[in-house]
Amino acid sequence: ISFNCVDSSLSSLKNCQSYINTGMDIATHVALDLVESFNDVEDVNSMENVMLEYAAMDRELNHYMRAIEETVNQIKREKPENIPDLKYLVNEKFTALESKNTDSDLQKNEKYMYFKDQLKEMRKQFCHQSDNDNEAIEQIDEDIAVTQSQMNFICPITQMEMKRPVRNKVCGHTYEEDAILKIIQTRKQQKKKVRCPKIGCSHADVKESDLVPDEALKRAIDSQNKQ
């Protein structure tokens, strides 16, 4: 049995998945724009609903591709004399996978988790700018918050303000992208693990795959530099 048509279909489905990923990236950037512009909370929440819809599409697509792959592998193992009803077998497996769906699945989508994380960081970075309190004590608190925030702008490796900050998903610390990647590459050649450069951090195995762009921090740095 030739599975060329099936392989072609799987390739098309993977292309669809890349479009979903792009859509989620765009929705994340729009949400961050809304927070930075102090837009209505409802507008930001609407982007979260968009992200959940994308996550649902991504889950459905993953289940369908998995159903196809499992069906093909099963046929290859069993080598039946007559060509089976591929569509029926795939739908059977797909329905079984979909029956186990829960809302928590969507919350665990990697891009949705990144969206929530960046939104939280964005609100922390920009919330003090939206407060127009005139009392002296509150002004002092705000100055301290700004100073602490600016300290977070400094890369623990270069000791300079970051231009392209990336955050470690494991320990939460941020570094200048080029600086941490250079360390990882050097240690990899030496066949050694990389300890997090942040003083006091116990994380001893920094991997490139654990690094994600910290868009919220980058926006806060850019905003501070414009003032």
Q: What is the pLDDT of residues 90-139, one digit of tens each?
A: 999 999 999 999 999 999 999 999 999 999 988 887 765 444 444 444 44
Instruction: Tell me how many degrees the CA angle 146-168-189 measures, rounded to the nearest 5.
Output: 130
Distance between CA 31 and CA 46 in Å, rounded?
9
Mean pLDDT across the chain, nearest whole number? 87
Distance between CA 115 and CA 96 in Å, rounded?
29
For residue 27, pLDDT over 70 is answered with yes
Structure tokens at 1: 């049995």
Interaxial angle between packed helices 136-151 and 215-226, expressed in degrees from 0 to 180 and rounded to the nearest 10: 120
State the pLDDT at residue 86. 87
pLDDT tier at 144 (50, 70, 90 boundaries)? very low
Structure tokens at 74: 């099963």
pTM for this prediction: 0.77
